Every structure is written in C-alpha cells, then in structure tokens.
Structure 1
C-alpha cells in the first residue's frame, strides 16, 4: 500500500494557518497595548476635568466676592469716599486672589420720560482698560440693566479678572466677569463724597 505524503507547499500552508490561529488566540501583551492607547486619553480627560473644575471654582469665587462687596455698599448710610472705594477693591483682591483684577461700582438711575439710564456716580479700580460709566456709555449696556421705576437708584457692581487656564486643553486664557445688581438697603440713595464738600 502506497503512503501519500503531503507536499512541502501544503505543509507550509498548514503551518502558516496554525501559526495565524495561535497568534489570534494569544492574549499576551493586550493589556500593555491597550494601556499605551488609552493612557493619553485618560490623562487628557483627567486634566480637562481639573481645568473645568478650576474654572467653575474661580467663577464662583468671583461672583461671591462681587456680591459681598455690593452688599457692603448697599448697607452704607454714610457718604461713599475714594478711600472706601479703594478699600473695597483691596477686599476684592484678598477674596479672589486673581490676576489683574478690576472693579467698577456705579450707582445708576432710570428716567421714564427719556427712557434712558443715568449715572449718579461711577468709580473703577484696577489696571485694565475699563473706564467709569457715564450717561452715554451706560445706555450702550442697557440690556444688562434691570427694569426699575422711574427715579429709583440701584447699585451696579462689575468685576473682571484675567483667568489663566492651568493646563492647555484647547482653550485660551480669557477675562472672567461678574455682575451684581442691588438696591440700597438703608436709604433710597447711595451718595458719593467728591472731597470738595459736594456730593453726587
């Protein structure tokens, strides 16, 4: 009886098939490969979450500090002075510890006859290009102002600071802003002493 032997080519094909099957079933090194692929994504996700959390934390601190200072102004019954404005700015810097802070506090009123807002007085502190409000500039931001009865006065507190992203995750540094609107609590008006014996 003649024994049939497989050809060398057929044997090579069988060996290649078995080798491919064994390679497909072999799970050694899969964890290492997956780690190499996923680790950068996980690190980026962690850094991004940290950056977003820090941004929200800073926004909350900025808003609370602005509210605190506006509340202090609203409770004043005496005349506001330049020293008082300086002190409130120093307090804002201590509360927030932010970069390049700017504070603008204004007492505004509304005239129903002319349908325009007016500035009783406005002061700013800080190193940015923000200027004090006047009767012209205040009406360019009227969409940010509340609807009040004619003749009523209210405090308009604004704060800015430069927020620096802790990690570069595709976002640029930006200027963070907070606004607080509050009525004077003690008196219907909050007057400013200009230092010359007059008030506004």
Structure 2
C-alpha cells in the first residue's frame, strides 16, 4: 500500500509483482540490441560512404589539375567539357556536377589577379577579374607575370538510406541522425603549368 495525503491507494497485485520481478527475456533483449546495432551500422556505413565520395572528388580535382598543368596544346571549351566527363567517370557522379577552369596571372601594378580565361560547365558563371578578387585569399602568392590555373569541381551527393532527412520529434525537440541529402562537395585547386603557358582558344 502507498499513502498519499494520508489516503491509502491500493496497487494491483500484478503491478507489485512487475516492480519486484527481476527476471528477463534474452529474446526481447536480443531484439532490442540488434535494432541498436543495426542503427549504428547503417549510420556508420553512411558516413563511410560520404568520406569515400569526398576522397574520390578530391582525387578527381587534382587529376584534372595535373592534366592541365602538363598540357602543351591549345585548350578551349570543348577541352573543359571533356574534362567534365573525366571527372564524372572518376567520381562515378550520379547527381549534378560541374567544373570550372580559370587561367590567372598576377599583375603587380594593379595588385590583383587578372583572369586570362575562364570557362564553366553546366551553365555556371565564368570568372571575371572583378569576381575573382573574392577568392584572392585562396590563391598562393605569385611573382609578376606568373600564370596559374584554377580548377574548381563540385558534385551533388545523396547519402545512402537518407537518414538525415528523417527526423524524430520528442518533447518539442527535433533530432536527426546521419547525413541529409543534397550535399555539395567542392574543391578549389591552384596549379602552375609544368611547361609553357597554357594557351586558350574558344574554338577548341
């Protein structure tokens, strides 16, 4: 019996037995443990896949940058579009992706980087000299008249299972686990030509 405000409140016999019972069921506990382990495994696989795709994205960006740095022939929009195919192949891109190639030169008299050429796939805006200045802090210092090529890559990544898009609301608070969809993975790589300066022509 319990006493509340001097009033005796009887408790059902089964409630007393349940409170005192220390027996358990391995089958029930096993099911609960398996569910927790499966949830952890799925979340771990999702993050592993995300890092795998990010690594592929970075390697693809540096591969394209290295190819450009060794290029001795004239390049142009068609060349960049073909590099986009290389990028999609290396990353196995299943969603939207784009690359942008920009040739720059340091002009000491104007104390800024000047765009020699710029082209982007997927209808993305190419760089102008004015627009490039917002990225100037990401570009290493260069001597007067030196040239470099900026390769930017970006791809859309949708994680496995879409756990991050599913939310649980308890007590007015929303909790999410894992990665959400529509994640853009981007790279910004600056490379100097290994040989002669890269020549651009809109007809290539």
Task: Assess same fold via TM > 0.5.
Answer: yes
Q: Which residue of 1 aligns with 2:119?
A: 123
**Rg: which structure is higher?**
1
SS in 1 for 2:201: coil
- Measure how far apart 1:111 and its partner are: 1.9
Which residues in structure 2 correspond to 1:77-156 (within 5 Å)? 77-98=72-93, 99-126=95-122, 130-156=124-150
Distance 1:67 1:23, change over 3 A: same
- Measure how far apart 1:33 and its partner are: 3.2
Q: Which residue of 1 aligns with 2:44?
A: 49
Q: Which residue of 1 aligns with 2:29?
A: 34
Distance 2:81 2:55 in 1: 23
SS in 1 for 2:129: coil
- Measure how far apart 1:178 and its partner are: 1.6
- 1:195 equivalenced with 2:203 (yes/no): yes
Comparing 153-162 with 94-103, greater Cα deviation is found at: 94-103
Could you tell me which runs of 5 or more consecutive residues in structure 2 were left unpaired when the two chains were aligned: 1-13, 165-178
CA deviation profile, 1:84-103 (whole Å, cap 9, x unmatched): 22221121122222111101
Q: Which residue of 2 aligns with 1:10?
A: none
Cα contact 1:81–1:195 (8 A) shared by 2: yes
- Between structures 1 and 2, the one with greater strand share: 2
- 1:75 equivalenced with 2:83 (yes/no): no
Cα contact 1:101–1:161 (8 A) shared by 2: yes
1:172 to 158, 161, 180: 180
CA deviation profile, 1:36-71 (whole Å, cap 9, x unmatched): 433332112111110111111101111111111111
SS in 2 for 1:105: strand
Comparing 130-139 with 170-179, greater Cα deviation is found at: 170-179
- Measure how far apart 1:20 and its partner are: 8.1
State how many pairs are aligned: 174
Could you tell me which runs of 5 or more consecutive residues in structure 1 were left unpaired when the two chains were aligned: 1-15
Distance 1:132 1:43, change over 3 A: same
Distance 1:146 1:23, change over 3 A: same
Distance 1:20 1:116 in 2: 77
Distance 1:159 1:23, change over 3 A: same
Relative to the length of structure 2, the TM-score reads 0.76
SS in 2 for 1:32: helix
Distance 1:195 1:139 in 2: 27
SS in 1 for 2:163: coil
Distance 1:144 1:32, change over 3 A: same
- 1:158 equivalenced with 2:152 (yes/no): yes
